[in-house]
């Protein structure tokens, strides 16, 4: 497939997602297949205005609306309580058809490490929250990430918040 065809395909996917006229259930599988193919070619230098970035961001906000406020529960994996790695695992399975490991440390070993300056929607951000504990969230946009806070439940926080900035470990693109 030529570069021209890939660009046309990505723009078409962006237009379908942007118009919101087609039910999610009917297009999710088709769009997800294109996501896997296009995501493999993304690099840290990929423009942040890539049409697929908008699709990923919108899917993350949709998941946030579904999970917002669900309380933190170590080992939890449903709406009665959930932990950070379970939230990431569930979102990646539901939205992108990808199966991730269950723990934050295992998730940190996936993909390619990238700099904070190169973050795009869907990238994973990791933090050291204790001597041996790790925390994971999903980058959304504008230095914000979706995660499960022990005090607020599922929320969106700023990477530049003093707490998170001092505990930042690394970012990964899967």
135 in catalytic set: yes
From CA 104, how far away is CA 133, in angstroms rounded?
9
What is the pairing mode between strands 168-173 and 124-128?
A: antiparallel
- Among the options 5, 36, 49, 84, which is catalytic? 84
From CA 168, how far away is CA 159, in angstroms rounded?
8
- Among the options 36, 49, 79, 135, which is catalytic? 135
- Among the options 19, 34, 79, 147, which is catalytic? 147
| 126: helix, strand or coil | strand
84 in catalytic set: yes
Sign of the four-CA dihedral 58, 60, 62, 68: negative
Element (H, E) at 81: strand 81-82
49 in catalytic set: no
Question: At residue 46, what are phi and psi to the nearest 5 degrees?
Answer: -60, 135
Catalytic residues: 84, 135, 147
């Amino acid at each position: 497939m030529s570069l021209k065809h890939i660009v046309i395909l990505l723009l078409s996917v962006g237009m379908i997602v942007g118009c919101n006229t087609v039910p999610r259930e009917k297009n999710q599988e088709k769009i997800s297949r294109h996501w896997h193919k296009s995501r493999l070619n993304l690099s840290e230098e990929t423009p942040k205005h890539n049409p697929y970035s908008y699709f990923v961001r919108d899917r993350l906000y949709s998941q946030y609306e579904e999970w917002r406020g669900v309380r933190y529960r170590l080992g939890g994996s449903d709406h009665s309580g959930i932990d950070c790695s379970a939230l990431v695992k569930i979102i990646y399975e539901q939205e992108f058809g990808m199966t991730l490991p269950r723990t934050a440390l295992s998730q940190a070993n996936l993909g390619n490490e990238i700099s904070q300056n190169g973050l795009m929607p869907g990238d994973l951000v990791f933090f050291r929250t204790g001597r041996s504990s790790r925390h994971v969230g999903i980058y959304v946009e504008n230095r914000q990430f979706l995660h499960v806070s022990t005090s607020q439940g599922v929320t969106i926080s700023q990477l530049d918040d003093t707490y998170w900035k001092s505990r930042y470990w690394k970012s990964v693109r899967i």
